[in-house]
């Protein structure tokens, strides 16, 4: 049985996708924007084929129609690269954080763990000429 979408879900899904009424209507060519607007405001009921067309358009765009009558964006992690923080601190030649547990200092080919970080951080904080 195809998913049945409510006016509230339709509005929420459009909001998540940042679509206006005309964006949605252009994806569901068989339904006019003013009919979708009336549906969202509860002044008309859609025919089953219209409801199915809306639900299909949202599913293709990555919207999940949840059983509790809410909507959510489906997270497709297969196409996203793994995020690793990369921060350059202290200007050029400063410390580069590769992840939360690895630190590489310029000119130091070895990676150091978190236990060695405080000593190296202190050494970098000292003003030039003082050691």
pTM of the model: 0.55
Token pair in block for residue 30 = 């068989």
**pLDDT given for residue 81 in this prediction:** 44
The answer to whether 9 touches 67, Cβ cutoff 8 Å, is: no
In the chain, the domains with their CATH numbers are 7-73 (1.10.260.40), 87-121 (no CATH)
Cα–Cα distance measured from residue 53 to residue 11, given in angstroms and rounded to the nearest whole number: 15
Distances (CA, A) of 91 to 33, 58, 127: 53, 46, 15
Q: For the segment 75-114, what is each residue's pLDDT rounded down to a tens digit? A: 754 444 444 444 444 445 544 454 555 555 556 555 545 5
Backbone angles phi and psi of 17, in degrees to 5: -85, -5
Residue 33's contacts (CB-CB under 8 Å, 6 or more residues apart) are: 21, 22, 24, 25
């Amino acid at each position: 049985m195809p998913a049945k979408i409510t006016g509230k879900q339709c509005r929420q899904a459009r909001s998540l996708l940042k679509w206006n009424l005309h964006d949605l209507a252009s994806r569901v060519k068989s339904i006019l924007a003013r009919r979708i607007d009336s549906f969202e405001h509860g002044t008309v009921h859609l025919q089953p084929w219209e409801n199915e067309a809306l639900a299909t358009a949202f599913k293709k765009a990555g919207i999940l129609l949840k059983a509790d009558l809410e909507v959510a964006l489906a997270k497709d992690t297969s196409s996203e690269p793994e995020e690793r923080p990369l921060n350059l601190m202290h200007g050029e030649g400063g410390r580069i954080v590769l992840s939360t547990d690895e630190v590489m200092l310029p000119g130091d080919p070895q990676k150091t763990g978190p236990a060695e970080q405080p000593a190296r951080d202190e050494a970098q904080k000292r003003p030039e000429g003082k050691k």
